[in-house]
Amino acid sequence: METKQKNIDSDARFRKLIENSFSGITLLNRDLDIIYRSPSAERINGWNMAERVKNTTKDLTHPDDREQLILLLNEVLDSPGLSKTGCFRSLHFSGHYIWLECVYTNMFNEPEINAIVCNFIDVTERKLAEIEVQKKTSQVQYLLESITDGFASLDENLCYTYVNTAIENMVGMKSENLIGRNIWEIFPDAVGSATYHAIQKAFTEKIYVSNEDHYEPLNLWQENRIYPSGNGISLFIRNITSQKNQELQRELLSLAVTQSLKEKNNILESIGDAFFAVDENWIVTYWNNMAEKVLQTPKSNIINKMLWDVFKDAIGSVSYNNYHEAIATNQAVHFEDHYERLNKWYEVSAYPSGKGLSVYFKDITERKVSEILLKELNNDLKKQTKELATSNAELEQFAYVASHDLQEPLRMITGFLSQIERRYSDKLDSKGRQYIHFAVDGAKRMREIILDLLEFSRVGRVEDSIEPTDTNKLLNDIISLYHKKIADKKAVIQYDNLPTINTYKVPLRQVFQNLVSNALKYQQAGNVPVIKINYTQTSKYYTFSVQDNGIGIDAEYFDTIFIIFQRLHNKEIYSGTGMGLAVTKKIVENLGGKIWLESEPGKGSTFYFNILKK
């Protein structure tokens, strides 16, 4: 080592050269101790040879760079002639680190040198500037990476020079697949889009452009801000898809709301009822077409107005009170009201809601008027019926009294006529006797009529009570009553298994008696009467029929025969007063039934009557 040093020292020329060299030169032995430091090296480092013992290369190197330096030196140590370059921080004598760019060369193969030669220059300034730039760049990069917006820079060929992670995520491509490639080559389907035009504009006109666009293939809504930068552009892309979707949803929702409002309006307009709605302050918020019509108030006069300002005359009305009650109790109300001003009746339903009242109503004036009319009519009818009943009762009373009171004088007439006939018959000529006979006959007929009238007026006077009545027995009685007549005519009367019914026995017997008597009477001379009595029943009625094989009745008289004193025959042919069927009808109707007949002249008649079951 000593020898080598001497050799170099001896070469004054080279020494001078080295000592004046701009770069520092140190020589290291195999232990990497500094065995020589050129004056320039001492100038750069501030250290001189005197301190060399304590200052090995390793010690002087910044702890963070040491490992890298050792690696490099070990490599150099192993290969004679090998040169390696590195940049390390080295401790300056003043106590701070300086950046040295070093070239280490293994010159152990050169016996004159036999060391690692380190040639270095101070690059602190450059390095610090570099670090500063790097710091700044990484700050910017950090910023660009940390923003959620996408950022890309494109050069003069619109090729990507930088993309941040947000862009990578947005387009689903790694930056290495984007950098260096033209934007339209990557996204050919965007050519011609709004974004395409915006980018081209910013790029060619060198102006700031912004736009919003939907990129179909990625289903991406983007908000672009494009700045010209250098010869290229910087592109900020914000993913506004979710915001757009929300907007879209809001739009759809508002569309749906409008639609449903429209539908609601349609419903409210199309319902036949009038409808209006008021808020909690009685301000009218809705008034449908029907309400316009029914209350003769156009929408323009009422919407947004206070209901009671427009309908002042209804304050205190039935409607007014009911609406207030509905709101106070929070319960729907249904009522009818007459509105004086329009002279109309309304049927109203009002439903309270937290926010006011919904009112449905319709004009029921017509119905109401007919109801009132009907009521009046009913009252009239009741009055008339009452009057009729009174006059009927009076008439019956009159008929009863008249027929009763007439009997006495009639008896006198008949009695005295009989006396004249008896005492003076020899003094009378045949004409006189005939007149008396006519008078007696007339009096007899009158008596019959009076008795019938009496009977007719008695019908309905409840003198007996309902009792189980065996109709077979009833007919047996009647047959024995007409025993002689039946025998004379050889009449056949058929009935079997007739029911026992709950009714007034006496009137029912009267009915059968009248019908059987007519069936026996209204027969062709010489004809053998055959009379059949039958019955049917429903849950409500018994229907009896009395059928004969008599002379029959023309249909045109089916009603007439039931009228009092109406007869179809001369009394000389068939005796009678014309009262029988009138009495019969009155009794049947009193028992809650009806009487009718089927008949044809010459073919006999069937009289039917029904009796309400009790």
Q: Report the nearest approach of ligand ADP to the CB of residue 456 (Å).
A: 10
C-beta of 449: minimal distance to ligand ADP in Å? 10
User: Which lies closer to ligand ADP via its Cβ, residue 42 or residue 452?
Assistant: 452
- Residue 352 or 578: the one with the smaller Cβ distance to ligand ADP is 578
User: How far is residue 140 CA from its own chain's centroid?
Assistant: 59
Q: How far is the CB of 528 from ligand ADP (least distance, A)?
A: 15
Burial class (CB in 10 A: 0-12, 13-18, 19+), 162: middle
Backbone phi and psi for residue 205, each to the nearest 5 degrees, phi listed first? -90, -5
The dihedral built from the CA positions of residue 448, 450, 451 and 455, taken in this order, carries a sign that is positive
- The residue among 37 and 586 lying less far from ligand ADP, judged by its C-beta, is 586
Question: Which residue, 533 or 551, has its beta carbon nearer to ligand ADP?
Answer: 551
CA 179 remoteness from chain centre: 59
In terms of CB distance, is 210 or 494 closer to ligand ADP? 494
Instruction: Show the tokens assigned to 403.
Output: 């027929």
Give the nearest distance from C-beta 518 to ligand ADP in angstroms: 3
State the residue for tokens 């990476």.
Answer: 145
Query: Around 342, how many Cα atoms within 13 Å sit in the side-chain half-sphere?
Result: 16
- What contacts 150, CB < 8 A, 6 or more positions away? 163, 164, 166, 167, 170, 235, 236, 237, 238, 239
Q: How far is the CB of 519 from ligand ADP (least distance, A)?
A: 5
State which residue, 164 or 510, has the beta carbon closest to ligand ADP. 510
Residue number with CB closer to ligand ADP (298 or 442):
442
Q: Are 27 and 36 in contact (CB under 8 A)?
A: yes
CA distance 125 to 138: 20
In the complex, minimum distance from the CB of residue 571 to ligand ADP, in angstroms, rounded to a whole number: 8
Q: Which residues contact 380 (CB under 8 A, 6 or more apart)?
A: none
Tokens of 583: 């009495």
Find the residue with minimal CB distance to ligand ADP.
Answer: 576
d(CA 479, CA 487): 10
Return residues touching ligand ADP (CB under 6 A): 514, 518-519, 522, 548, 550-553, 561, 567-569, 576-582, 605
Instruction: Pick between residue 24 and residue 576 the one whose CB is nearest to ligand ADP.
Output: 576
Burial environment of residue 516 by CB neighbours within 10 A (0 to 12, 13 to 18, 19 or more): buried
Cα 25 to Cα 12, 43, 70, 99, 485, distances in angstroms: 16, 11, 18, 15, 178
User: Residue 532 CB, nearest distance to ligand ADP (Å)?
Assistant: 13
Q: How many CB atoms lie within 10 A of CB 25?
A: 18
Minimum Å gap between C-beta 606 and ligand ADP is 9
Pick 150 or 552: Cβ nearer ligand ADP: 552
CB of 460 to ligand ADP, least distance (A): 18
